Structures are given as structure tokens and as C-alpha cells.
Amino acid sequence: MRRPAALLPLGLIALGLALAGCTTGFSYISRNYVALTPQVVTIGCKEPYEVYDNRQLRRMLIVSNTLREYAGCNLSEARIDPEPGATRVTRFRTAARAYLDETVREECRITGETVFDALKSEFAYACDGPVEKRGTVVPRLPGRNPGLIQR
């Protein structure tokens, strides 16, 4: 039995809308975070999260990795977290708060969250002080490759 020809255009439209949603997130992240150097923050499970902080917009992108999100926080132990998805939101929020605290912005508060996918979430934050001017030297955490340690 042949399918009606009218279903084909509907399927193509649905596929186009789905792809448009993916590219919107990708272009937003590229536009706001691609030029930033990642910093690394660790939380209670001692696993690193990369943080891309756009201080001008007062937003940060927290990035995890696939293995940690599949197994949860127990990668350093012999057991596997039975529900890593249940703790994912808590871990990303904890990483965002820890990052603000470690960069000497304890007074800042998280005001919003956008989940792009299981590995990336963006957090908006507000601080009492004004936005720093571009080029201002601010406290930084190490990145993935902080360079050679000098003696």
C-alpha cells in the first residue's frame, strides 16, 4: 500500500524544524562562548566541569563529558550511579555556584538556567556590582591545559 503524498512534505517540515532547533543552540553557543578560554571547576564528586564565563553578559556555560553523565559522580569508585540523570541538574547547579564562589563572586546569585543538552547548561547570574570593563584582570581558575608548572 502506498502512503499519501501529503505525508512526505509534513515529514520534511518536521525534520527541518528539528534541525533548526539544533542549529539555533549551536549558533547561540558559538556566538557567545567560542572566543572564551575554558576554566575548570570541580565539585563534591571531584570531577571537573569546564566553565565558559561571559562576564559581559553575566552568563556561564557549564560543560560536562559523556562518560560522567552516563555513569554519574561515582567514576572514581567501583560502583555505577543507578540514576545519573537524577543528579545531573544538582551537579550542574553545584558546579555553577562553586565557580562563582571560587572566582570571588560569592554575592552573585544564579537567576536562570537553560539546558542545551545532557552535556551543556547555561546559567544566568546577577551581581550587585557593575559589569567589569573589557580587559579588567579578574580571578581565574585553571583550564584543562594550564601549561607547564614553573619552579
What are the tens digits of pLDDT across the range 25-74? 788 988 999 889 999 998 876 678 999 999 999 999 999 877 666 655 55
Which of residues 142 and 149 earns the better pLDDT score? 142
pLDDT at 76: 52
Which of residues 64 and 141 earns the better pLDDT score? 64
Order of strands, edge to edge, in the sheet holding 59-63? 39-42, 48-54, 59-63, 120-126, 109-117
Helices (H) and strands (E) in the chain, counts: 3, 5
Q: Model-level pTM?
A: 0.69
Residue 75 to residue 48: CA distance in whole angstroms: 12
CB contact set of 53 (below 8 Å; sequence gap of 6+): 36, 39, 60, 99, 103
Q: Which residue has the cell 562563582?
A: 100
CB–CB of 108/100 below 8 Å?
Answer: yes
Residue 4 to residue 123: CA distance in whole angstroms: 46
13: pLDDT confidence band, cut at 50, 70 and 90?
A: very low
Q: Which of 137, 143, 127, 125 is nearest to 49 (CA)?
A: 143
pLDDT at 70: 60
